[in-house]
Structure 1
Amino acid sequence: MGRGRVLYCGPIQHLEPHVYGANVLHVGIYRPFRIRLADGEWRTCRCAVVPAGVRHALDMAGGVHGKLFVERTGADAKGFRKRFPYSETTARFFEDAETIECFRWIHEEDPNRSAVEQRLERLLSTREQTPVELDERIRQVIERICREPDRNFSQEELARLVDLSPSRFLHLFRQCTGLPYRRFRLWKRMVSALELLHASDSLTRAALDAGFADATHFSHSFRDTFGVNPAPVFRNIGRFEVSPGMVDKR
């Protein structure tokens, strides 16, 4: 986790319909997987890019799966968009040997964090990209949300913070992030909970500190975001790392 991105490699069975708060690259590391958008038909592919906010289900049938989440306002956003051109409203399906090999290497070699980050930077050519230009008012709002994830900021409160009407604020926020405000706030809270979990090793404590009402609220939100209950994920995960400087923000 770091730089506005999250990486996962490992075995997965089935993920119920869910909505991510970041663009995601799905990779079937050794074989194709199945994906279904909203209520559409199942489709088989080896790689797919699903934009933030697009609901979809996955069926890997026990295969080893790779995911790279890249936030639209993150440092990798431009490199991701250039490397994997996609529509903001629907998924793109393709096969890419370099991408598959990158994820296979990460899964099999289990390299350290620095080596993984260097490999992803080569894949996305991030060093050649300039930062995403973000409206300064929305940047202020995002920084406030990240700084205080446990606060239930209303849209009216945030609109006043940047001297906008609530309707203009919601429109501009979605234009800049690709997500409705509440969906974006949920995603940031989820990421904050994962960062806090890495530091505390208590799922309930991390959920409460990230702004979820209780463990049940977190579990329901996690399932809606990732398509699976959190308990088996963190019980079976073999390695979990957060880039330095991400956890202690407050």
Structure 2
Amino acid sequence: MDAPTLNRYRGDFVAWTGGCGFIGEGGGGGAPISPHAHYAIQLAIGAPTGLRVQFGRRGEWQSCPAALVPSRATHSIDVNDCEWSAVLFIEPETPEGKALSARLQGRLELLDADFVAATTRRLATAWRIERNYDAVIAACLELVHNISGTTLRTPSDPRVLAAVHYIGQRAGHTVSLSEVAQAANLSAGRFRHLFVEETGMPLRTYLLWRRLLQVWTLLMQGQTLSSAAHAAGFADSAHLSRTARSMFGLAPSALQMNGPLSARLRMPQHHLG
């Protein structure tokens, strides 16, 4: 995940059908995230100012309020001068992802401050003041809807969506190509090609992505890095760290899940009101 790398980082992870995100504060003075690529489309926001984005391994650093990074594009972000930041990931096979992919055409897009200002304020209120997980997700979805709604939405293949739903229901379990293909009512060979056509990535890479998302969900709940790694199917925390570095540019240990949502989630139930 693109996020601050210093110990001062304090953040949370949220997930919804078709996407997820990190929201956090801190990181002043640290180095930018190493260049990396991942399959999700990325929306990065730096508030109130301070976000910098690099497109490509040697691209020019550009300052902006927010940016959209296309799927599988090598990039880096720097949030060290932001008071807080949010990084949202939109899965390309969703209708919103399809619309954004059609608009971006593999290019970086810098967003105007006025376009995201109102929803960004709502996101900050939901996270910092209300400390409400559902309100944070609602604000994230509003951002995604507003941005993707500027382009005609192209429906995703229902067979791929059925497979994605099946994978989501099997979190923490090993799934094979044949059983996922069966969930999509296709042969393994046909499904393999269709999945790449729809998502731009092999099923194996997608499954790895979903396992990483499970890790951060477990860290939000207070599990240790080691226990989260094992629960998500990684051999150990070192295996998890190597994988996360290759896909996000940094290890999960750099992202302390101790923001207001995490703290609230870990409170005894009778204290939640």
Give the TM-score category using the shorter length: 0.7 to 0.9
Flag the 1:105–1:145 CA change in 2: closer, same or farther, 3 A: closer
Matched residue of 1:231: which SS? helix
Cα distance in 2 between the residues matched to 1:238 and 1:159? 39
- Post-superposition shift, 1:15? 0.9
Gaps of 5+ in 1: 245-250
Cα distance in 2 between the residues matched to 1:34 and 1:137? 38
Q: Name the residue aligned to 1:239.
A: 260
- Post-superposition shift, 1:29? 1.2
Matched residue of 2:246: which SS? helix
Flag the 1:30–1:114 CA change in 2: closer, same or farther, 3 A: same
Cα distance in 2 between the residues matched to 1:89 and 1:106? 27
Amino acid at match of 2:59: E
The answer to whether 1:16 aligns with 2:37 is no
Flag the 1:122–1:141 CA change in 2: closer, same or farther, 3 A: closer
Matched residue of 2:15: which SS? coil
Identity over aligned pairs, percent: 24
Cα distance in 1 between the residues matched to 2:80 and 2:135? 29
Cα distance in 2 between the residues matched to 1:97 and 1:80? 24
Question: Is the CA contact 2:229–2:237 (under 8 Å) kept in the aligned structure 1?
Answer: yes
Amino acid at match of 2:116: T
Cα distance in 2 between the residues matched to 1:89 and 1:176? 15
Q: Name the residue aligned to 2:114.
A: 97
Aligned-residue CA RMSD (Å): 3.4
Cα distance in 2 between the residues matched to 1:18 and 1:42? 15
Gaps of 5+ in 2: 1-13, 266-273
Q: How does 1:120-139 map to 2 (within 5 A)?
A: 120-125=140-145, 133-139=155-161
Q: How does 1:2-81 map to 2 (within 5 A)?
A: 2-3=15-16, 4-7=18-21, 8-12=23-27, 13=30, 14-46=32-64, 47-63=66-82, 64-74=84-94, 77-78=95-96, 81=99
- Post-superposition shift, 1:26? 0.9
Question: Is the CA contact 1:150–1:211 (under 8 Å) kept in the aligned structure 2?
Answer: yes
Amino acid at match of 2:113: D
Q: Name the residue aligned to 2:237.
A: 215
- Post-superposition shift, 1:219? 1.0
Question: Is the CA contact 1:79–1:125 (under 8 Å) kept in the aligned structure 2?
Answer: no
Flag the 1:134–1:81 CA change in 2: closer, same or farther, 3 A: closer
Matched residue of 2:186: which SS? coil
Matched residue of 2:259: which SS? coil
Matched residue of 2:233: which SS? coil
Amino acid at match of 1:6: C
- Post-superposition shift, 1:48? 1.0
Cα-to-partner distance string for 1:165-217 (whole Å, 9 max, x where unaligned) = 53x33331122223332221111111122223334522211211111121111
Question: Is the CA contact 1:5–1:68 (under 8 Å) kept in the aligned structure 2?
Answer: yes
Relative to the length of structure 1, the TM-score reads 0.76
